[in-house]
Amino acid sequence: MSLTPRLPLSRSRIDRDARSRKIPGFLESIWGRGDTRVVLIWGGEALLAADNGVALDLRAPSEVPDSLHRIYLGVTTETVGTLALGTPIVAAVLDDEAARSLAPDVARWTSARTLAHHLNDLDAGIVVEALAMANWHSGHSFSPVTGAPALSDQAGWVRVDQSSGSDLFPRTDAAVIALVTDAEDRIVLGSNALWESHRYSLLAGFVEPGESLEAAVIREVFEESGLVVTNPVYVGSQPWPFPASLMVGFRAELDTAVAMDLRPDGTEIIDLRWFSRDELRSSLGAITLPGRTSIARAMIEDWLGESLPDGD
């Protein structure tokens, strides 16, 4: 079965309600409703409630200062806590001054990259959608085709080139991540040059233009490790809006017909190691594995057959 329903950033209780986006004035109309709730985004982080454990601080529109961008995220698909079924949710992206005036305690502004696995399904879906759209808006103030200003439209889901009138839509960068096993059912983990030396994870990379997901798995694994793999099998996917990726997970098997040794590329990957299940368990004090919000963590635990300690 797919891992997707179990992945922290793939959870949601939001109907994105795409049909309503095209209604003229729709965003303004729900901004005036008393039941609308707003998630606040600043510098790639979301505002948490001050005294409610780990939960988003969802505000009424009247409590929100002027914002750089507003994006309609959709409506809730069920009642969650005090939020009723069908509650409209909007993201507001704040500048430095507005964010600091609203919540000067910077500890309340937290990254979903490290936090999302603590959030409930509704909050997780809200923050991932909000961050992905906020990141897209921040990089598309001007048309990449004409250089003209591009203004937000359709409740924040389109930017319009003011020179040509053409619509610019959000984009997501596909990336593959692979759990590679050998004939002994060991997995290979690599250490990236940008990480601390004891951190290891699965091999991953972006899909190139004109390339299938499976072909990307085979190419990326070979480029980073020198290993030839076969039979990539999809296991699940998770958005990774840091800033704009979709991580697509695969299992792949070592091609036993080809003799090969581990060969780190020396640029991205500086070390590679094979781990049996017992070897991975015994190494937990010496190496650091991917964080609990990542698909890599879920894929490793699925292969291992058990959850890893929270401290890893």
pTM over 0.85: yes
Bridge-based pairing state of the strands 203-206 and 173-181: antiparallel
Q: Which residues of 242-265 are buried (b: 16+ CB within 10 A; e: fewer)?
A: eebbbbbbbbbebeeeeeeeeebe
Confidence band of 312 (pLDDT split at 50, 70, 90): very low
CB atoms < 10 A from the CB of 136, how many?
22
Which domains are present in the chain? 4-141 (no CATH), 173-304 (3.90.79.10)
Q: Which two tokens stand for residue 221?
A: 């694994």
Please name every residue paired with 238 in a beta bridge, in sequence order, or none if there are none: 247
Please name every residue paired with 70 in a beta bridge, in sequence order, or none if there are none: 92
Cβ contact 224:216 at 8 Å:
no
3-class secondary structure for 208-240?
A: CCCCCHHHHHHHHHHHHHCCCEEEEEEEEEEEE
Per DSSP, the residues of 53-67 read SS-B--B-GGG----
Look at residue 1 in the predicted model and tell me its pLDDT. 76
Q: What is the mean pLDDT of the chain?
A: 95
> pLDDT tens digit string along 195-207?
888 999 999 999 9
**Residue range 204-218: average pLDDT?**
98
CA distance 191 to 58: 38
Q: How many residues does the chain have?
A: 312
> pLDDT tens digit string along 285-307?
899 999 999 999 999 999 999 99
CA distance 136 to 202: 27
